[in-house]
């Protein structure tokens, strides 16, 4: 599994790293690749990600699918701008249980139109074996329908959690 630098401009990668959502901070996943129509997010499994049976919680896997799929459709090459979307529907297929290591969700846009896009996602373990697959439909937020996106105001974010 390639753990090299993100496939995005340094400024864009920095923007993603500087302003993660509170939920992203809570789970601890990272965007490791991001380009038009594709995204990869990665998560080092920790005890907080496990369910009562000692394996990764299905909600964590669903979150990785949702996040990677959304990022895949929201690439924005314009500095200072961003694209956003909302999940309309999502299907998750759990294939294998895992309790240690790293999960990587690889997403690609598989279709869509002006307002809605669809992504297909594979979640892999550290050896590249499929742990889950998923697909989702997303609706662009107003102004995010084109790659230019919308201007994002620059102000520091405040988080009320110990993680940020």
Domains and their CATH numbers in the chain? 10-149 (3.10.129.10)
pLDDT tens digit sequence for 11-43: 554 455 456 677 787 788 999 999 999 999 999
The C-alpha atoms of residue 78 and residue 61 are separated, in whole angstroms, by 30
Residue from 133, 129, 131, 140 nearest 91 by CA = 133
146: which 2 tokens?
Answer: 């084109």
* pLDDT class of 4 with cuts at 50, 70, 90: very low
Distance between alpha carbon 63 and the CA centroid of its chain, in Å?
Answer: 8
Question: What per-residue confidence (pLDDT) applies to 10?
Answer: 46
Question: What per-residue confidence (pLDDT) applies to 16?
Answer: 57
pLDDT tens digit sequence for 46-78: 999 999 999 999 999 999 999 999 999 999 999
pLDDT tens digit sequence for 106-151: 999 999 999 999 999 999 999 999 999 999 999 999 999 999 999 9
Is residue 8 scored above 80 in pLDDT? no
Question: What per-residue confidence (pLDDT) applies to 6?
Answer: 43
Question: What per-residue confidence (pLDDT) applies to 105?
Answer: 98
* pLDDT class of 5 with cuts at 50, 70, 90: very low
Question: What per-residue confidence (pLDDT) applies to 1?
Answer: 34
User: Residue 160: is it exposed, middle or buried by C-beta count within 10 angstroms (0-12/13-18/19+)?
Assistant: exposed
Question: What per-residue confidence (pLDDT) applies to 163?
Answer: 53
Q: Is 2 left (phi over 0), alpha (psi -120 to 50) or beta?
A: beta
């Amino acid at each position: 599994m390639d753990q090299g630098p993100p496939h995005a401009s340094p400024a864009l990668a920095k923007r993603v790293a500087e302003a993660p959502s509170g939920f992203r901070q809570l789970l601890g996943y990272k965007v490791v690749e991001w380009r038009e129509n594709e995204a990869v997010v990665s998560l080092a499994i920790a005890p907080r990600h496990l369910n009562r049976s000692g394996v990764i919680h299905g909600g964590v896997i669903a979150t990785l699918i949702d996040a990677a799929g959304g990022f895949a459709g929201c690439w924005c090459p314009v500095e200072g701008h961003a694209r956003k979307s909302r999940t309309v529907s999502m299907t998750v297929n759990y294939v294998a249980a895992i309790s240690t290591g790293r999960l990587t969700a690889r997403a690609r846009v598989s279709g869509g139109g002006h307002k809605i896009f669809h992504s297909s996602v594979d979640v892999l373990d550290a050896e590249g074996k499929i742990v889950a697959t998923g697909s989702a439909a997303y609706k662009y937020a107003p102004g995010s329908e084109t790659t230019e996106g919308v201007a994002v105001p620059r102000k520091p974010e405040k988080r009320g959690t110990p993680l940020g």
